[in-house]
Amino acid sequence: MTLDPARRVSTLRLHPIDDVLIAKEALPAGTLVETELGAVALAQDIGAGHKVAFRARAPGELIHRYGQVIGVASAPIAPGDHVHTHNVERAERQQEYQLGLGARPVALPAPDDVRTFKGYLRPDGRVGTRNYIAVISTVNCSASVSRLVKDRFRDVSRDHPGIDGVIALTHRGGCGHVADGDAHLLLERVLAGYATHPNVAGCVLVGLGCEVVQPARLLERQRLTRGEGGRPPPVIVIQDAGGVRRAVEAASAEVERLLPQAAAARRTRQPISHLVLGTNCGGSDGYSGITANPALGWAVDELVRQGGSAVLGETPEIYGAEQLLVRRAVSPAVAQKLLDRIDWWRKYLHSYDADVDHNPSPGNMAGGITTVLEKALGGVAKGGTTPLVDVVRYAEPVAAKGLMFMDTPGFDPVSVTGIVAGGANLLAFTTGRGSVFGCKPVPSLKLASNSAMYRRMEEDMDLDCGVVLEGVSVEEMGRRILEALVAVASGERTKSELAGVGEEEFDPWLPGPTL
């Protein structure tokens, strides 16, 4: 068999110490690929984004990708073999952490280099990228009323073009929690974060009356006020109002009173230092850590250089890459906060007879990801190279400038709900399999990791990062992402917004027992 010259660039080797090559396209068995050790014949069909052995590995030997350990061989692996779940398992790690040794200072831009966008300056000094009115349920028992109120204002943008819409934020919690326990206090943080969010011009809270999350206590404990006068948002309690119909009438009247205030808001030119970019990946594949995630990381670095903020999350999905983040922490104390959250997750999962090995998902594996370590190494690339300035709990306010980490689950709606509650006014969502995620009231820019999926789902994907595999540099793709983020922050609609997706994705994390 002779070497096909067209196949010389059909695979990628990402780091000099890597043991695997990444297929840039689906390759049939028998294909010869060129390596530093000579031509290797593929022993099996290799799917796009999947791994091929670069050199032999005996059982128990480490497997490297990205220059990091992604697992150990569980069976003999010969050059040209498909490297995946059938012959690789997660490695037990004795990681030595270098706390804060890799943080480097960020050079701020010159005055004539400051980027701007057009956003809504709110009375508290934060800036919104959208202008919604929210009807927020304090308990699942008031969800139907909240939706009925929202339905009365489906055409609000027709009569008030400056308002993006009236949305109902409903959920499955609010009662059955241990009073003042973790789930109770966490849900209060989420509700407060959305009620005061810069993308929300005004809100109405709707409760039942007998629930654990009492609206009056929520207002008091979260110091929930809005607007220049510091007034609390209106509260409608179904039992006090006299039932469903009367509660809908009362809440609708409150929304009517909010309309003129929201409609009067105008976009003004603001520095992008007011942007708080939430990041997330969903349906990742073998290309995510090569194309979309590092390109987004470049955009994150530039946003931070401009004085903005970015948020990483998904704590169970950074296991195996946390060493890269703690090295970039601005202090050992910040690094330790991240390690403490990872330790909490180990114990939490163990209490449910679960483990981090329950990641990756079937879709991830079909796309070429073999272990949680490999998934994590690709995922943290979203954070670029900038220092890690702080670690916060789920739905806690994101107050610092720079790269933050928020402790969230990996499930996309739950993770992003916490990040938005923390104050993210813009989202970048990377996907390799084709997640159709949206998130009202925050626009979500969808970044496809491969061109085949982008073409198949172009109605749902905003940018094709698969062009990196064709020669576009990560830096150039990062520039394209940043430009798209600035445009979206200024009002350009994302694909998920055009499709009307994003209201059902409100999903607060509710750990612990349901009573």
pLDDT at 91: 80
Chain segment 103-160, per-residue pLDDT in tens: 777 887 888 889 999 999 999 999 999 999 999 999 999 999 999 999 999 999 999 9
Chain segment 441-462, per-residue pLDDT in tens: 999 999 999 999 999 999 999 9
Q: How confident is the model at residue 432 (pLDDT cuts 50, 70, 90)?
A: very high
pLDDT at 514: 87
pLDDT at 494: 98
Q: Which helix (H) or strand (E) covers residue 90, if one does? A: none
What average pLDDT does the segment 72-92 reach?
94
Whether the pLDDT of residue 510 is over 80: the answer is: yes
Using alpha carbons, select from 72, 464, 469 the residue that is nearest to residue 286: 469
**Euclidean distance between CA atoms 201 and 259, whole angstroms:** 9
CA 22 to chain centre: 25
Q: How confident is the model at residue 515 (pLDDT cuts 50, 70, 90)?
A: confident
pLDDT at 513: 84
Instruction: Give the CATH number of domain 5-89; options: 3.90.950.10, 2.30.130.110, 1.10.287.3510, 3.20.20.80.
Output: 2.30.130.110
| Domain map (residue ranges) of the chain | 5-89, 120-268, 271-474+483-498
Torsion of the alpha carbons at 254, 259, 261 and 266, rounded to the nearest 10:
150
Question: Rounded to whole angstroms, what are the CA distances from 207 to 152, 190, 343?
Answer: 19, 15, 36
Chain segment 201-222, per-residue pLDDT in tens: 999 999 999 999 999 999 999 9
pLDDT at 1: 30
How crowded is the C-beta side of 91, counted as CA atoms within 13 Å?
19
Helix (H, G, I), strand (E, B) or coil at 205: strand
The CATH architecture assigned to 120-268 reads 3-Layer(aba) Sandwich (3.40)
Token pair 């995510």 in the structure block, residue:
288
Chain segment 387-421, per-residue pLDDT in tens: 999 999 999 999 999 999 999 999 999 999 999 99
Q: Calculate the average pLDDT of the chain.
A: 93
Beta carbons within 8 Å of 182's beta carbon, 6+ residues apart: 511, 512
**Euclidean distance between CA atoms 66 and 73, whole angstroms:** 17
Contact of 300 with 386, CB cutoff 8 Å: yes
pLDDT at 110: 82
Using alpha carbons, select from 164, 171, 170, 168 the residue that is nearest to residue 128: 164
Q: What is the DSSP letter of 218?
A: H
Whether the pLDDT of residue 323 is over 70: the answer is: yes
Q: Tell me whether domains 5-89 and 120-268 share a fold.
A: no
Beta strands in 56-198 (DSSP E): 62-65, 68-73, 82-83, 88-89, 116-121, 127-128, 132-137, 165-169
The backbone torsions φ and ψ at residue 344, rounded to the nearest 5 degrees and listed phi first, read -60, -40
What average pLDDT does the segment 165-178 reach?
96
Token pair 């819409």 in the structure block, residue:
165
pTM of the model: 0.95
Q: How confident is the model at residue 93 (pLDDT cuts 50, 70, 90)?
A: low
- The angle, 0 to 180 degrees and rounded to 10, between the axes of the packed helices 474-489 and 292-305 is 60
125: which 2 tokens?
């000094």
pLDDT at 100: 75
